[in-house]
Amino acid sequence: MLRHCLCHSAWHLAPSHAQRDRLDFYHGLLGVSETGLEDRSSLIVAIDGPSGVGKTTVASLVAKELELPYLSTGAMYRSVALKVIEQGVEADDREAVEEMARDIDLSLRLADDGQIEVFVDGEPSGDRIKGLKVAQTTSQISAYSDVRKRLVALQREWATRHGAVLEGRDIGTKVFPDTPHKFFLEAPTWVRVERRWLELRARGRTDLVRSEVEREFLERDRRDRTRPDSPLCHDETYSVIDTSGSEPWEVVEKIVAEVRAKSEPSAGGA
């Protein structure tokens, strides 16, 4: 029962009509589109956490509810990794990767659905960044400081102009440490591994061996948490939410309510 609930496929689905109606009702009660969040261009919502906690699902729905652009910063690191692979640069050649990251033609554009798309050399990265090889390379190159500097500068420049919900590993610790809206999503390791495994199979990767997927997942997790520059972590300025026993919409509701409460003029927040 618990396992069924924790690994529920709802984490990868669009909201049902019932969920939508419920949130519309809630939305109306809170008046999210009305006063209080009027100046959305200054609103920065940071959603951090490890792989497999449901960050993408939650962050993109939170962005819709708050009518803010949504940026997956992981997609930016993955886009650099894609270029590293395409150019035949060795991922462990730090100097070569950092040089490429300094020169890369990387831009962000707002799509009609509110998502911010990453473009490399004028081409959208799209689904090309979703494979396992890209994930492995990303895990290596995201540890390099000059890669991070370049991408963090772009994240700050873009989000400061428009306001945004940003999803990543270091948004509340490094990119926007002063935002009052910081959320750290977590879930037990086995739940995260299970979600990733189901996600890969849903994408047709039935050839993969589970133990191998698990080993790589845990290795990437370890790297994200232990790298010297901007390791995955959180402090007391974050609201920590365990997503394992909840439906995505419950987590979204919690975050939207908290942002709304802190954004009311009387709350003295952003």
Residue 118 Cβ vs ligand DC, minimum distance, rounded to whole Å: 11
Q: How many CB atoms lie within 10 A of CB 242?
A: 14
Question: Is residue 220 near ligand DC by the rule CB under 6 A?
Answer: yes
Alpha carbon distance 192, 214 (integer Å) = 10
What number of CA atoms fall less than 13 Å from residue 191's CA on the CB side? 21
CB 256 within 8 A of CB 36: no
Q: Which of 19, 142, 243, 244 binds ligand DC (CB under 6 A)?
A: 142
Question: Is residue 137 near ligand DC by the rule CB under 6 A?
Answer: no
Helices (H) and strands (E) in the chain, counts: 10, 8
Residue 51 Cβ vs ligand DC, minimum distance, rounded to whole Å: 5
- Judged by CB under 6 A, the number of residues near ligand DC is 13
Q: Which of 64, 150, 169, 181 binds ligand DC (CB under 6 A)?
A: 169
Residue 231 Cβ vs ligand DC, minimum distance, rounded to whole Å: 9
Alpha carbon distance 30, 22 (integer Å) = 12
Residue 30 Cβ vs ligand DC, minimum distance, rounded to whole Å: 28
Alpha carbon distance 261, 134 (integer Å) = 39
Q: Which of 138, 179, 243, 263 binds ligand DC (CB under 6 A)?
A: 138
CB 107 within 8 A of CB 119: yes
| Angle subtended at Cα 170 by Cα 264 and Cα 246, rounded to the nearest 5 degrees | 65
Q: Which of 65, 170, 253, 258 binds ligand DC (CB under 6 A)?
A: 170
Binding mask 23-62 for ligand DC (x = CB under 6 A): ----------------------------x-----------
Total count of residues recorded for the chain: 270
Q: How many CB atoms lie within 10 A of CB 132?
A: 14
What number of CA atoms fall less than 13 Å from residue 104's CA on the CB side? 32
Of the listed pieces 33-41, 61-69, 137-145, 198-206, which binds ligand DC according to CB under 6 A?
Answer: 137-145
What are the residues whose beta carbons fall under 8 Å from the beta carbon of 52, sequence distance 6 or more? 187, 191, 192, 193, 195, 196, 217
Question: Is residue 260 near ligand DC by the rule CB under 6 A?
Answer: no
Q: Which of 15, 54, 168, 180 binds ligand DC (CB under 6 A)?
A: 168
Question: Is residue 248 near ligand DC by the rule CB under 6 A?
Answer: no
Residues in 57-76 at the binding interface with ligand DC, rule: CB under 6 A: 73-74
Of the listed pieces 63-71, 163-171, 207-215, 239-247, which binds ligand DC according to CB under 6 A?
Answer: 163-171
Q: Which residues here bind ligand DC, judged by CB under 6 A?
A: 51, 73-74, 77-78, 138-139, 142, 168-170, 220, 224
